[in-house]
Structure 1
């Protein structure tokens, strides 16, 4: 849904751009590779099971638990030879559905979108427990003081009905009409705004928001929950296929347990985990100070859950927020943001309970 991801000015890939490409090709490609089977098949590397994990965008702090677990050797200790691979052009959701990857990072919202088109996916661990999306203009654009001022302005978008629905609701909640122009982002949203081609766009507070705070440009931003968007749109977590769950539930259980351990470590030791991410993903050109600040922002904002409740065992890191995600799905259905494989609007919201499970989580 939201514009994602600028890990560094030299690497302007966005997850939303990836999702837009995926949506464009979903009808033609959804099941073309279905006969390929799961990527791990029956092949082992020595005593290890080969498992492919696909990124959602370029490496960042939302992937950090996987990189920490790899760095610490926890996957290997669990009998897993993990291969972390770049996101495919059509998206990790399609790759997992078609058996080209075993696991991927995405959101439960994306799973709901693909499920309507026929994919058989499940989120097996939800890392992020509350929204982090922010909708921003350059601070130098003094004409925008609140979302109602987006009315009549130009939105830097990748063309999603979902993002249109969110922006429209925010504007209307703030007393505006919800009418705006759009321009397709070519490289990065920062550049599109700075060039004057658009007036506002979507970012994530945990990444681009941190970047803007450290490096500029200064932004004026507004959060979805403050302006009438219900639930949690940013249910970032790990998905796999129904097929792998049916064929090898023990592997899914082991993978999730190791991932939980990695994210738990990162939540408790954000600076050390940040250094591990930078070391494990050298091609991403991540700056250590930036990654550390992003992780501290996540911890301070309790984006992965209340650390005190995790410590005392009353909340398990990775738990799926069924009510929050369902509230958001219902909103999208109400706004006619869902469509099936034929492009026909779907008015009935998918059910989060059918698209995610906590059965593979290990309790504290």
Structure 2
């Protein structure tokens, strides 16, 4: 009995010791997490393969390794650029076009692009192949469905004019969503991003003609999307921006090297999407993220200046904005 009591006592002591160690480990983990810097990233839209690098960096621990506790949210009560400018988020996903608009307004927003997610504009005009719409000249007497933005009309007007087409002969309607099936009957043309809409449409069995925007005017090869930050954050907390960008770069480099695995990571956070569709989209974008660039995220004055000139020429903004005011490469580490 004495031996049994001693054994029970030893087991109890061991359990207490293990519990204490476990509690200490949990406390250390909690303390470690509490030391992480909270960072909020506001997307431009629902999660998709444009954002995979962000989710890879989060899921693989790159942000935590950089001392960051990153929360990725969708925009709710306003556009991303406005929210970042107002300090509602540390970083955001936007577009070169929106950044230029924001800086050219009467009350410029304090934002700046710090990386481009994709090197080239992969958007374009899609139509059913059997309709033989292969140039903007063929837009005449057709029905185009879009989102109704002034820049959208300006771009279509410009490319039709350059092709010798009469813009007044195009009927433009506002679409409620990406119902690709309408291309087969009610609608002749849509402006879409191939990595998402184009792949989704072809997976539905649609045979499409696709005219890339950048093939019509080199100035339309602008950056979309881009990562933005508040200029106050850039100027006063460059260490935070650098830590975020280093981890984000690793996330996109992972997506480039591992498209299938990174699609599976994205699927964890956006499980309503078909996984095979995500994999096909990711395979396409893996080749586009850093296309023609030595590193991911790097931007050029010529791209910013080109689209700014287009916007001024077509009356979208009243004045040119110098590229240096729109973006910075200071947080991109060159190889």
1:220 — aligned with what?
Answer: 209
User: How does 1:279-290 map onto structure 2 within 5 Å?
Assistant: 279-282=268-271, 285-290=272-277
- Structure with greater proportional helix content: 2
Distance 2:204 2:181 in 1: 14
The answer to whether the aligner puts 1:139 opposite 2:129 as a matched pair is yes
Deviation of 1:189 (Å): 4.9
Select the structure of larger CA radius of gyration: 2
Deviation of 1:155 (Å): 2.0
User: How does 1:134-283 map onto structure 2 within 5 Å?
Assistant: 134-140=124-130, 142=131, 144-179=133-168, 180-190=170-180, 192-194=182-184, 196=186, 198-282=187-271
Partners of 2:223 and 2:303 within 8 A in 1: no
Deviation of 1:257 (Å): 0.7
User: Are residues 200 and 222 of structure 1, via their aligned partners in 2, closer, same or farther at CA, if it must alter by over 3 Å?
Assistant: same
1:320 — aligned with what?
Answer: 299
The answer to whether the aligner puts 1:105 opposite 2:76 as a matched pair is no
1:355 — aligned with what?
Answer: 326
2:25 — aligned with what?
Answer: none
2:28 — aligned with what?
Answer: none
Partners of 1:71 and 1:280 within 8 A in 2: no
Tell me the secondary structure at the aligned position of residue 234 of structure 2.
helix
User: How does 1:106-125 map onto structure 2 within 5 Å?
Assistant: 106-117=94-105, 118-125=108-115
Deviation of 1:194 (Å): 4.9
User: Are residues 152 and 241 of structure 1, via their aligned partners in 2, closer, same or farther at CA, if it must alter by over 3 Å?
Assistant: same
Cα-to-partner distance string for 1:196-252 (whole Å, 9 max, x where unaligned):
1x3212001111111122223332221122223524234322101012112311111
Q: Please, which of 269, 287, 294 is the counterpart of residue 281 of structure 2?
A: 294
Tell me the secondary structure at the aligned position of residue 320 of structure 2.
coil
RMSD: 2.0
The answer to whether the aligner puts 1:52 opposite 2:40 as a matched pair is yes
Distance 1:90 1:80 in 2: 25
Cα-to-partner distance string for 1:134-156 (whole Å, 9 max, x where unaligned):
1122335x263432111232221
User: Are residues 253 and 156 of structure 1, via their aligned partners in 2, closer, same or farther at CA, if it must alter by over 3 Å?
Assistant: same
The answer to whether the aligner puts 1:91 opposite 2:62 as a matched pair is no
Distance 1:176 1:89 in 2: 40
Ranges in structure 2 where 5+ consecutive residues have no aligned partner: 1-31
Ranges in structure 1 where 5+ consecutive residues have no aligned partner: 1-43, 310-314, 339-345
The answer to whether the aligner puts 1:330 opposite 2:318 as a matched pair is no
